[in-house]
Amino acid sequence: MEKNFEALIASYIENKVGISEHFLSDELANNLKQNLYSLNEKNLLKEAGTGNSEAIAYDSAVRSDSIYWLDKKHNNVFENEFFKHIEDFIRYLNQSCYTGITGYEFHYSLYEKGDFYLKHFDQFQNNSRRKFSMISYLNSNWQTADGGELLIHQDNNNQKISPIQGKTVFFKSDELLHEVLPTQTTRMSITGWLKCD
């Protein structure tokens, strides 16, 4: 477990984008994916917006995925296992990098064929609590032709990251402009933020 935590932190320190190929085990990723499928079949996912509760907007020309917020109140065994993993990572991150993270929030994100999310930052203009962004992917057997990559924009060093199951990406929420390129098939992830009070 700590090996995957260290891989995420070390690669972040090296180029501002942390990547761990196996942050989530296949078992946990598969269980979370099945839970997402079940939620979608029950029509519990909602159109994703931009902004926060104080200033939210819905525009499918900017963002076209659907989301469902994870919450301990759901008492879902797989979501709770994911939360435990995130809490262990936060503890490791705070101890090794003195980041002072005090909370988090995560949601499932489902992109159907043709869906995308245009360039954006993750930190709100009216609220700076989000410090780090984390995206964990739930897509097995992903192929290059499937599209849906995360494109992170950096000066002379753009990164295109494939959304392969188990992989987690980590970066500062206010620092890197990024987008989700159009996907050619169903694309699933858990996306969220590590926060400070």
In this structure, is the dihedral angle defined by the CA atoms of residues 28, 192, 133 and 37, taken in order, positive or negative? positive
**Which helix (DSSP H) or strand (DSSP E) does residue 86 occupy?**
helix 77-97
Per-residue pLDDT at 120: 86
Residue 98: exposed, middle, or buried by beta-carbon count in 10 A (0-12, 13-18, 19+)? exposed
Token couple for 160 = 């295109």
108 close to 173: Cβ distance less than 8 angstroms: no
Per-residue pLDDT at 105: 95
Per-residue pLDDT at 54: 56
> What's the mean pLDDT in 49-72?
77
Distance, CA of 168 to CA of 37 (rounded, Å) = 20
> What's the mean pLDDT in 166-188?
94
Angle between helices 77-97 and 26-41 (to 10 degrees): 130
- Looking at the chain, the number of H-run helices and the number of E-run strands are 3, 11
Q: What is the DSSP string of 107-137?
A: EEEEE-TT--EEEE-SSBTTB--EEEEEEEE
> What's the mean pLDDT in 179-188?
96
> What's the mean pLDDT in 147-173?
93
Distance, CA of 46 to CA of 67 (rounded, Å) = 5
170: β partners? 18, 134
- The pTM assigned to this predicted structure is 0.92
> pLDDT tens digit string along 102-129?
999 999 999 999 999 998 887 655 557 8
Report which of 77, 86, 85 is spatially closest to residue 35, judged by C-alpha positions: 77
> Please, what's the largest Cα pairwise distance for the chain?
45
Per-residue pLDDT at 55: 57
Is the pLDDT reported for residue 63 higher than 90? no
Per-residue pLDDT at 44: 96
Range with the lowest mean pLDDT among 10-14, 116-120, 125-129, 189-193? 125-129
Per-residue pLDDT at 126: 52
